[in-house]
Copies of this chain bind each other. A is one copy, B any other.
Amino acid sequence: MGCPQDHATLATDVLIRADLRGIDSHGIARLIGYVRLWEQGRINATPDIRLIHETSSTGVVDGDGGLGLVVAPRAMQIAMEKAESAGTGWVAIKNSNHFGIAGYHAMMGLHQDMIGIALTNASPLVAPTFSTERMLGTNPIAVSIPAGQEPPFVADMATTTAANGKLEILQRQSREAPYGWIQDAQGDPSTNPHELKDGGALLPLGGDREHGSHKGYALGALVDILSAVLSGANYGPWAPPFVSFLPLAPDPVGEGLGHFVGAMRVDAFRPASEFKSNMDKWIRRFRSADAVEGKQVLIPGDPEREMEKVRTHEGIPVLGKVVDDLTQVADKFGVMLPEEE
């Protein structure tokens, strides 16, 4: 696509990391989608990523229409530099695109004993409580917290009951979705995983009002406001869709997609060794909490870390459909794919 080598390397790292961690929906399966957006001129392969406003603990980055996979880590680097001097750093990003897994960016602070935070808005697929309209994205929240001898606490979650990737799995398997994941065009509960094609919507975490969907809606809204209203990107239903066959809103309220990243130096609060030994104690206590028969209490990040261990050794399984997509991309750019074993 003409990306500078360092951008291509960074973007690849973000995508492969998603696959390693078992978040297949955000890994190399997305490559063809980024290429299609670039073909339509919606992604700038050679962006001039600039810090356009700052205070000692804040900044705003203009992504110049670049890949979010590249823009977000650059912004997180700025947040971490600010945290180094001011204790914390917070950067809002506009004029960007889909940034892959939020957890990648949040985890960047770990090796410097920083708590990392990454938020993004996304293609509108989610109906607020009482609404029949798709107004918000799956707007994830990722927070990464260092520990001492224990592995870190890494939460990385869509603010919906279920992420869109889970729905895609059910579609491929022709299985029904549980109640509370989606609604139909009239706002009634649905178990049809294809409902979004007929005007349905994903539901905020909680599912319905009685089970707290207004809280999931508020969380998704917070992510939207911090990512896009604070930075000057498009918010709510104006957020640019990831799929290239959907048009951009004709009346944009900002530039591109928005993100929000933050870094907090642990020792801006208490000595890092003290904090980390208490995190170890926190993690061990929760891991050993009384559990229901046959289960164990998990720490956020456990399943992804286990998967990363396995796939680092055994490789990443890739679906036939994804291999076809990658072959198509390789042909387009005259890249040789490795022979299948």
- Contact residue among B187, B215, B232 (Cβ-Cβ distance under 8 Å from A292): B187
The answer to whether A269 and B53 touch across the interface, beta carbons within 8 angstroms, is yes
- In whole Å, how far is A294's beta carbon from the nearest beta carbon of chain B? 9
Interchain CA distance A158-B232 in the complex, whole Å: 30
Contact B211 A161 (CB under 8 A): yes
A211 engages B214 (CB within 8 Å): no
Main secondary structure of the interface of A (DSSP, over half): mixed
Residues of B with C-beta under 8 A to A290: 131-133
Copies held by the complex? 2
A282 and B236: CB pair below 8 A?
Answer: yes
The answer to whether A128 touches B222, judged by C-beta atoms less than 8 angstroms apart, is no
Q: How far is the CB of A93 from chain B (nearest CB, A)?
A: 11
Interface flags for A227-246 (1: CB within 8 Å of B; 0: not) read 00111100111000000000
A193 touches B (CB below 8 Å): no
Residues of B within 8 A of A292 (CB): 130-132, 186-187
If A205-B206, A268-B57 touch, does A286 touch B143 (CB 8 Å cutoff)?
no
Contacts A60-B269, A292-B132 given; does A87 touch B282 at CB 8 Å: no
A44 at the B interface (CB under 8 A): no
Partner of A145, one of B205, B225, B268: B225
Contact (Cβ within 8 A) B275 A229: yes
The verdict on A318 contacting chain B, using a C-beta distance below 8 Å, is no
Chain B residues lying within 8 Å of A222, measured Cβ to Cβ, are: 143, 145, 155
**Complex alpha-carbon distance, A278 and B92, angstroms:** 15
Evaluate whether A162 and B128 lie within 8 angstroms (CB atoms) in the complex, with A86-B86, A230-B266 already known. no
Given known pairs A211-B180, A253-B281, A281-B253, the reply for A53 and B289 (CB within 8 Å) is: no
Question: In this complex, which of A58, A143, A158 has the most chain B Cβ atoms within 10 angstroms of its Cβ?
Answer: A58
For the complex, is A20 an interface residue (Cβ under 8 Å from B)? no
Nearest chain B residue, comparing its CB with the CB of A288: B133
For the complex, give the distance between the alpha carbons of A282 and B265 in Å: 32
Neighbour of A270 across the interface among B53, B264, B269, CB < 8 A: B53
- What is the 8 Å Cβ interface bit string for chain A, positions 160-178, against chain B (1 contact, 0 not)? 1110000000000000001
Q: A192: CB under 8 A from chain B?
A: no
User: Is the pair B86, A55 in contact by a Cβ cutoff of 8 Å?
Assistant: yes
Let me know if A153 is at the binding interface, CB within 8 A: yes
Question: Quick check: is A212 within 8 A (CB to CB) of the other chain?
Answer: yes
- A residues sitting closer than 8 Å to B (CB atoms) are 53, 55-58, 60, 85-88, 90, 92, 115, 128-133, 135, 141, 143, 145, 153, 155, 157-162, 178, 180-181, 186-187, 205-207, 210-212, 214-219, 221-222, 224-226, 229-232, 235-237, 253-254, 264-266, 268-270, 274-275, 278-279, 281-282, 285-286, 289-292, 295-298, 300
12 chain-A/chain-B pairs, Cβ below 8 angstroms: A60-B270, A131-B297, A132-B290, A132-B291, A141-B219, A157-B214, A180-B211, A205-B205, A205-B212, A214-B298, A229-B278, A230-B275
16 additional A-B pairs beyond A221-B300, A230-B266, beta carbons within 8 Å, are A56-B86, A58-B269, A60-B269, A86-B86, A88-B90, A128-B297, A135-B297, A155-B219, A155-B221, A178-B210, A180-B211, A211-B211, A224-B282, A225-B282, A229-B278, A237-B289
